[in-house]
Amino acid sequence: MSEQNLTDEAKALLTQQHQATKAEQRLGDVQTHLSQLEEAQDAQSEVLDQLFEDMMRLMSGQASQAGATQLTPLAVPTFENLEPIQVSDVSWDIYLDNLDTYATRHDVTGLDDPFTHLLTARQRHDLATTFKEDFLLKEAECDRYDYMIASFSGLVAGLIDSFFVGSPADSKLQSWSDEKVDNLVIKFANLVWKQDKKNGARLRKQPDSIASAIGFLERRFKVNYDARYARDLKMGEATLNMRPSDHHLKSLAHAPDIIGLFFSILDQFTGKASFISDGRLLRLEPKEDGTQRLQGGNLLAKLFAGFANWFGHLLSDVSGSSGVRGHDNGRRGAGIPLPFFELFQFADFGQVSHNGKTLSFADFSTKVFESGYDARHGVAMAVPVVFNELVIRLLWGLKSLFYHKNSWLESIPAGNKPTLRKMLFVGHGALCLTDGMDAYIRSGNVPILFATRLNYVAWSRFAYASMQELKHVLGKDVYDWKAVDAHLDQEWKKLSGAY
């Protein structure tokens, strides 16, 4: 709904409010006059009784005890008709014109700012109080126990990261995370295979290994942007240094985030492929004339098909290629990058030493990715981060329930809880501090070792917590707009259910 439509509806409500006020005033006037008529009627009844008694005395030959009494005529008030506004059998524009005519004739005030005048001063005060109590990011009042809990949890999570996650070369969780990702790929391939089989497709045997699962998904979710070498593309005057070990990083459509989804659908619609080279975005055409076209009879169906191709192709690449994984040589193959890690390819500046060469940040991030720092390693890196998050939230809830004697509802570790927000900031900060110190000590001042030992997931979570805390520090009246949106959605559902 546009802002103009909201303004027009607010003017309509304000005019209707004026009509309701006039009707209430008229009802009050009518009630007042009815009371006056009842009082006059009672007085007239007393006069009639007195006249009747005088008449009876005169008929019996007695003299009247009272003087002459006269009846006063009852005054019947008249009221001006209330002006209606025609609603039925008229268009919305004509109705708005009728509103303007009514407002001009009756001097309806507040139409220049209808949203302010719709609420009374008391209602505005109550609304402001509700917003401050429920949605304002309040100042955190952490005691020493809160800081101790957060710091200790972050330290333990940092030790888990140091001794169990490490780098892709020496991670004790690497085989576990690779196995979990492989199992996910096999399960997804079997799900798609069964669905295609059910729809009558002629298929080979059901995928029962990671190599067969990857091979099936590669054939099932073909895309036009899956070039492994620059020679697979119509380069023209463009330059692109790309090989199989880094083509998932330099191809934007292979990113497992919103950027990758956008470029994947764009590439599928246009038949081109999007790459990053020397900090610049390249849009190139594959040499092979792709015969694949997005399925669907309308735009929405084609968008869904594009999303399905993007997601299915990502799962075919997350565990490496079928050619590499089909041989028992211990090679992991090139996976897909971590979410938003592809943005480092735009950083074509800086100087980082690597094996006697000086590289830009973009080229250095490519070397980091080729060292196994991919989405599979991201699963291992997420373990200490999830541990830290759960421990802090759990201990905060228990402390709120048993130490502060709050209710179960108030002790749920979610929502706008200032103390919990500060504890998560401190806890993830302690995790990143431990991770940074470990990476610096164990890297021996070798940049590639330092980079691969940093926990990308932990630093991303800490960056988000820092932004939340910074919003509160920079401004006093900062609201939790996610909570506001959730509250409005809930109220809208109540109204929709009522009608």
Q: Give the pLDDT confidence score for residue 397 in this predicted structure.
A: 96
Q: Could you give the percent of the chain with pLDDT greater than 90? A: 51
Tell me if 314 sits within 8 A of 336, measured CB to CB. yes
The separation between CA 291 and the C-alpha centre of its own chain, rounded to angstroms, equals 37
Contacts 24+ apart (CB under 8 A), 178-187: 178/319, 178/332, 178/376, 180/379, 181/318, 181/319, 181/375, 181/376, 181/379, 182/210, 182/319, 184/315, 185/210, 185/213, 185/214, 185/217, 185/315, 185/316, 185/318, 185/319, 186/210, 186/213
Tell me if 295 sits within 8 A of 301, measured CB to CB. yes
Q: Which amino acid is at 492?
A: W
For residue 281, the cross-strand partners are 276
73 secondary structure, DSSP code: P
What are the backbone angles phi and psi of residue 123, rounded to the nearest 5°? -65, -40
The separation between CA 499 and the C-alpha centre of its own chain, rounded to angstroms, equals 27
315, containing H or E segment: helix 299-317
Strands 233-234 and 280-286: antiparallel
Q: Is the pLDDT of residue 139 over 70?
A: no
Q: Give the pLDDT confidence score for residue 305 in this predicted structure.
A: 92
The separation between CA 201 and the C-alpha centre of its own chain, rounded to angstroms, equals 39
Decide which of 302 and 114 is more confident.
302
Q: Is the pLDDT of residue 329 over 70?
A: no
Return the minimum-mean-pLDDT range out of 70-74, 254-258, 373-377. Answer: 70-74
Look at the pTM and tell me if it is higher than 0.75.
no
Q: What tokens does 88 get?
A: 């039925």
pLDDT, tens digit (0-9, with 9 covering 90-100), for 142-174: 999 999 999 999 999 999 999 999 999 999 999
Put the strands of the sheet holding 280-286 in their side by side order.
233-234, 280-286, 273-277
Q: Is the pLDDT of residue 16 over 50?
A: yes
